[in-house]
Amino acid sequence: MSPENNIKAQNGIVRYLKDNMGTLIGLFAMCVVLSFTTNGVFYSQRNLINVLRQVSSNACLAFGMTFAIITGGIDLSVGSILALSGTLSAGLIVHSGFSVPGAVATAIIIGTCLGLFNGFMIAKTTIPPFIVTLAMMQIARGAAYIYSNGQPIRAMINEYQIIGTGYLGPIPLPVIYMLVFLIACVILLSKTRFGRHVYAVGGNDKAAIFSGVNVARTKMLVYTMSGFLAAFTGVVLCARMASGQPTAGQSFEMDAIAATVLGGTSMSGGVGKIGSTMIGVLIIGVLNNGLNLLGLNSFWQQIAKGIVILLAVYVDMLKKRRK
Amino acid sequence: MAEDNILLQMKHIHKKFPGVYALKDVNFELRAGEVHALLGENGAGKSTLIKCLAGIYIPEEGEVIVKGNSHIMQNVADSQAHGISVIHQELCLVPYLSIAENMFLGRERNVAGFIKRGQEAEEAKKMLARLGLDFDPNTLIQDLSIAQQQMVEIAKALSVKADILVMDEPTASLTDKETEVLFETMRQLKAEGIGIIYISHRMSELFEITDRVTIMRDGQYVGTVNTRETTRDQLIAMMVGRELTQLYFKDEVKPGEVVLEVKDLVSPPFVNGVSFAVRAGEIVGMSGLVGAGRSETSHCIFGIDNRYTGEILIDGKPVHIRSVRDAMKNGIALVPENRKEEGLVLINSVGYNLTLTVLHEIFRGRPLGNPKKENETIAQYIHELAIKTPTAEQLAENLSGGNQQKIVIAKWLATKPKLLILDEPTRGVDVGARAEIYGFMNELAKQGVAILMISSDLPEILNMSDRVLVMHEGKVTANLSKNELSQELIMRYATGGGTANVA
Ligand SMILES: Nc1ncnc2c1ncn2[C@@H]1O[C@H](COP(=O)(O)OP(=O)(O)OP(=O)(O)O)[C@@H](O)[C@H]1O
Ligand SMILES: [Mg+2]
């Protein structure tokens, strides 16, 4: 690496810290408070790894959501696609005699196709993304219930469970998946042509069209990707529970949107970063974990989450206005 | 002229929109190394013809021959591949992306999909330098002024290796200096054998830079003339289909009482102590360079900027204006500089836009509104300002620039203001509509409305104003009465060469 490149890399990190100052301070402050109030339990290696594992599914959904929101859209169907692919993966093994890899691949492909269908409708018709994915949310959830008869499909098969429960060294596999997707999405969005087109479509779609950008294809890819991430997450979740649950992922789309917005992605499109979304994911994760450790029930967690979202977005707006 | 010199022919082009026959049998031809102007009133179909060439619209009928190949462009990438590069009338940049990123949008320099940022920045820097611009290519578009954005748009079009370059009103928001740089570049390109299609409503520019002019009227081809063999009057006559004897219309009106007075208006960084007055029946021109603080001053008076200090008096009484509602209650109206962003709800209908400022009247005492009154108001203003639209239901975004401007003026006239502030009232407006707009201004002044006209168009300032305020760096540097006005004097005060008659 040449010295010049080194400087650039450093600048990237400095910029990341600067851009995310507000949320990072918030996250840090939460960690400090928790270290006192939980007598250090929060900082135990077990708990920290636990937090990472807990956030991994929301992270994967939020990455896809970030892409969708940057294009000026939204993907409400991720929670339902997650559930459908999860139940399919278990059901195909138990009821249809698929091999584990075969079942997993089929389930992920089906979920991805639903994402592609979202993308197709959004790109080729003028139906807004909100409506298209709202419809898909209903359809995929309904399909998951029908396929499973409304009952969890138990799948106590080691080879399957390991997908969700395995470890690589001390690190749970779901965390590894999250890191892989994190890196892949960061590169995709910031370094590639496709990423630039995503920003252009959301920032000014007319300019994108007039510059020869294939706007339809860009949108299609974005929703396909989101569908893929949701399907993958669904399989991992159900494998961990050793059961395909048609109720899995209820309101997960809201957590993904919350994380994305916390990271400073603009709901009107054109602005956002995967790295910032990751901070949003961590804030929500630490908040949930911390309140759990403190023994507050989940109803309070919801209220806390709401307040944090309002606060964070407000601070972000103040920061932008000052510019 | 030899046949092989012909770069482009468009023959018998037809294009229809719902309710509008935008192009009826239009012909156009472009030679290598020529600048060929397209001239026509607002809504004549110039931009539509260009979009048919750029692959944005596909004509229903007709033939397009590029360098001997007959081919209708199917999309933008297709037209770029045929060597066509277009600067569109509406700015087409992504605000949150950098200059370099915008320049290479759609044709990113990349290896296997990975962008080569360094190379893009370098090439962008070169293109900018060619236009005498010294921007950092990593600057975000949203941090540039409109004029700077326009220059970036031009640089972007030049960075495409094209032999047909189309410029749809590139100079509408440029100052004279930038226009000169642009013309210099155009002359170079001409010498390289590139054909340029040039659209502008500024007649003087046509005589300066073009070789031929094709005139369009109401979507039809009127004719093509050599610029050297024609006159301004002939062009105007072909364009509007009648003789237009007089562009500027200004009667002497005896000024009445002072309607607006501002004292020591300050709102950093653009407004640094502005004081002046406008009387009833008076048209006061406000001149100055881009960034002198003229629009920002008007934003204080109109309550858009509510952080200013200083005093505003209406009819001699101090008033409290901290919001647009406050301003409207005091009889102030502002026709903003940027009609698409600040003036219109583009995705709504003409009628909707026209009555947006007077909804309180339409709904007064009637929770469900008064459709009869609403329709009357709409019809009245469409008629009075001669807004060219098939129906009041047409969407504002489908109207031509000049007609959009008339809607914005009309919606503020509907509030029956005492003080009308016009910010660049005729930017991108054709001569016919300009004459009409000047006509209304004259009419309003006669009725006793006080008018403050911010304009960068010097002939407009010189011909329409009773008095001219010149601004420089946030201060009024001169207050010139009609008989002492001259272009040189205005430019001197606008560039900071002293002060005169300032209260
Ligand atoms: N997408 C559209 N849908 C419906 N009508 C349209 C559309 N685009 C343009 N028009 C109409 O077509 C006609 C030609 O418009 P065009 O924009 O080509 O005019 P122009 O000559 O470029 O005018 P200007 O000088 O104001 O830019 C106008 O009457 C306009 O209202
Ligand atoms: Mg036009």
How does pLDDT run across B84-95, given as a tens digit for each residue?
999 998 878 999
pLDDT given at position A176: 97
The verdict on the CB of residue B432 being under 6 Å from ligand 1 is no
Looking only at the bridges linking them, the beta strands covering B258-267 and B309-314 are antiparallel
* CA of B401, closest atom in ligand 1: 26
Query: In which element (H, E) is residue B333 found?
Result: strand B332-335
pLDDT given at position A255: 93
Q: In what order do the strands lie in the sheet with B283-288?
A: B332-335, B419-423, B450-454, B283-288, B467-472, B475-481
The answer to whether the CB of A216 falls within 8 A of the CB of A39 is no
Place of tokens 């197709």: A120
Domain membership flag for residue B474: yes
What does the pLDDT average to over A11-16?
82
Question: How many Å apart are CA B343 and CA B334, to the nearest integer?
Answer: 9
pLDDT given at position B244: 64
User: A215 to chain B nearest CA, in Å?
Assistant: 10
Q: What is the pTM of this model?
A: 0.81
Give A-chain residues touching B75 at CB under 8 angstroms: 212
B15 & B145 share domain? yes
Give B-chain residues touching A271 at CB under 8 angstroms: 96
Nearest CA in chain A to B156: A211
Domain membership flag for residue B141: yes
The verdict on the CB of residue B50 being under 6 Å from ligand 1 is no
Distance A289 CA to ligand 2 centre (A): 58
Q: Among B415, B442, B467, where does a domain finish? A: B415
Give B-chain residues touching A208 at CB under 8 angstroms: 94, 105-106
Which residues of chain B fall short of a pLDDT of 50?
Answer: 1-2
Give me the domain span that covers residue B378: 342-415
Whichever domain contains B117, its CATH number is 3.40.50.300
Which residues lie closer than 8 Å to B332 by C-beta, 6 or more apart?
B260, B301, B302, B314, B321, B417, B418, B419, B421
B163 & B47 share domain? yes
pLDDT given at position B348: 87
Domain membership flag for residue B150: yes
User: B242 to chain A nearest CA, in Å?
Assistant: 36
The verdict on the CB of residue B47 being under 6 Å from ligand 1 is yes
B163 & B295 share domain? no
The verdict on the CB of residue B330 being under 6 Å from ligand 1 is no
Q: Among B240, B265, B283, where does a domain finish? A: B240
The verdict on the CB of residue B46 being under 6 Å from ligand 1 is yes
* CA of B89, closest atom in ligand 1: 27
Give A-chain residues touching B101 at CB under 8 angstroms: 196, 199
Predicted ipTM beyond 0.95: no
Q: How confident is the model at residue A210 (pLDDT cuts 50, 70, 90)?
A: confident
The answer to whether the CB of A277 falls within 8 A of the CB of A66 is yes
* CA of B38, closest atom in ligand 1: 21
Interchain proximity A207–B94, CB inside 8 Å: yes
**Ligand with minimal distance to B20 CA:** 1
Domain membership flag for residue B445: yes
pLDDT given at position B1: 43
Neighbour tally for B247: CB within 10 Å: 15
Does position A5 have pLDDT exceeding 60, yes or no?
no
The verdict on the CB of residue B399 being under 6 Å from ligand 1 is yes
B40 & B12 share domain? yes
Please report the domains of chain A, with CATH numbers, ordered by start residue: 44-253 (1.10.3470.10)
pLDDT given at position B204: 87
Residues at Cβ < 5 Å from ligand 2 ion = B 47, 89
Interchain proximity B113–A192, CB inside 8 Å: yes
Give B-chain residues touching A213 at CB under 8 angstroms: 105-106
Among the partner-chain residues B105, B107, B110, the one whose CB lies closest to the CB of A208 is B105
DSSP letter, residue A192:
B
B319 & B363 share domain? no
Distance B336 CA to ligand 2 centre (A): 19
B424 & B396 share domain? no
User: Which B residues, 94 through 133, put their C-beta within 8 Å of a C-beta on chain A?
Assistant: 94-97, 101-102, 105-108, 110, 113-115
Question: How many Å apart are CA B218 and CA B198, to the nearest integer?
Answer: 19
A23, A27, A33, A39, A283 from A36: Cα distances, Å: 20, 15, 5, 5, 18
Q: Among B224, B240, B256, where does a domain finish? A: B240
What does R_g of chain A's alpha carbons equal in angstroms? 20
Give A-chain residues touching B110 at CB under 8 angstroms: 192-193
Domain membership flag for residue B89: yes
Domain membership flag for residue B336: no
Tens-place pLDDT, residues A239-295: 999 999 999 999 999 999 999 999 989 888 999 999 999 999 999 999 989 888 888
Among the partner-chain residues A203, A208, A209, the one whose CB lies closest to the CB of B96 is A203
A86, A94, A176, B66, B415 from A239: Cα distances, Å: 8, 13, 15, 60, 67
B224 & B257 share domain? no
Distance A227 CA to ligand 1 centre (A): 40
B174 & B254 share domain? no
Among B13, B38, B47, which is best to mutate for testing ligand 1, by the most ligand atoms less than 8 A from CB? Answer: B47
Per-residue exposure over A117-153, b if at least 16 CB sit within 10 Å of its own CB, e if not: bbbbbbbeeeeebeebbeebbebbbebbeebbeeebb
Question: How many Å apart are CA B452 and CA A107, to the nearest integer?
Answer: 68
Domain membership flag for residue B477: yes
Tens-place pLDDT, residues A88-129: 999 999 999 999 999 999 999 999 999 999 999 999 998 999
Sign of CA dihedral A227, A228, A232, A238: positive
What does the pLDDT average to over A31-49?
88
Neighbour tally for B398: CB within 10 Å: 18
Among B41, B50, B91, B400, which is best to mutate for testing ligand 1, by the most ligand atoms less than 8 A from CB? Answer: B400
Question: How many Å apart are CA A47 and CA A292, to the nearest integer?
Answer: 11
Sign of CA dihedral A199, A205, A209, A210: negative
Three-class secondary structure of residue B13 per DSSP = strand
Distance B88 CA to ligand 2 centre (A): 8
Lowest mean pLDDT among A16-30, A220-234, B195-209: A16-30
Among B13, B28, B48, which is best to mutate for testing ligand 1, by the most ligand atoms less than 8 A from CB? Answer: B48
B251 & B232 share domain? no
The verdict on the CB of residue B22 being under 6 Å from ligand 1 is yes
Domain membership flag for residue B337: no
Does position A322 have pLDDT exceeding 70, yes or no?
no
Among the partner-chain residues A196, A200, A270, the one whose CB lies closest to the CB of B115 is A196
Place of tokens 């970063």: A273
Q: What angle do CA A49, A52, A58 make, to 5 degrees?
A: 160
Place of tokens 């002060």: B499
B490 & B372 share domain? no
Q: What angle do CA A182, A185, A187 make, to 5 degrees?
A: 110
B48 & B190 share domain? yes
Length of chain A: 323
B260 & B227 share domain? no
The verdict on the CB of residue B271 being under 6 Å from ligand 1 is no
Tens-place pLDDT, residues B272-331: 999 999 999 999 999 988 778 999 999 999 999 888 999 999 999 999 999 999 999 999
Interchain proximity B106–A208, CB inside 8 Å: yes
Tens-place pLDDT, residues B36-71: 999 998 888 999 999 999 999 999 999 999 999 999
Residue B88, phi then psi, degrees to nearest 5: -80, 160
Tally of domains in chain B: 3
